[in-house]
Amino acid sequence: MSGLVETFNMTCQDVALLWTCPVIAGAASLVRGWTSELDLVKPPVYETLSPDEEDRKPKQTSENKRQRSYWVVGMLLAGAGIGLGLALLFLGAIQPTSSAVGRVWLLALVLGYSTPIVLKQIDGKVEKAIAEVDKI
């Protein structure tokens, strides 16, 4: 890494942006993906079980676990890709102040948080285009 820093004349701030923007955007993308599955307006009803009832939890199959892990990795990678692109966009272009870095981090957080929504819209448009092609 030190060879790249010297070759491209990167500052410590540039290196920090390259490492932190993908992490921030990936985490925000994952959080947005998780929170989009929750109904924040209507919390789950609190239920108690009587002592003679069994708590029947649905069992997760290995296929469900595998699909869930693919989803988590996909959200992380999508957000990290957005964050890396953002870091590369601002590489060497911002002033070496903490407020400038903070604004780029905030932008990484917002873009990472919106990544699942954008992916859902893209998926809907692709499915619509495929349906139109199938009609022909």
> How high is the pLDDT of residue 64?
79
> How high is the pLDDT of residue 26?
92
> How high is the pLDDT of residue 109?
92
In a domain, 129, yes or no: yes
Domain region containing 111? 2-38+63-135
Domains in the chain, number: 1
In a domain, 43, yes or no: no
Helix (H) or strand (E) holding 78: helix 62-90
In a domain, 51, yes or no: no
In a domain, 52, yes or no: no
CB 84 within 8 A of CB 22: yes
Amino acid letter, 44:
P
CB 60 within 8 A of CB 90: no
Gap between the Cα atoms of 89 and 80, Å rounded = 14
Tokens 């819209």 correspond to what residue? 121
Average pLDDT, 10 consecutive residues per value, the chain (136 residues): 74 87 92 73 56 58 81 88 91 85 91 87 90 86
> How high is the pLDDT of residue 72?
84
In a domain, 88, yes or no: yes
In a domain, 45, yes or no: no
Gap between the Cα atoms of 60 and 64, Å rounded = 6
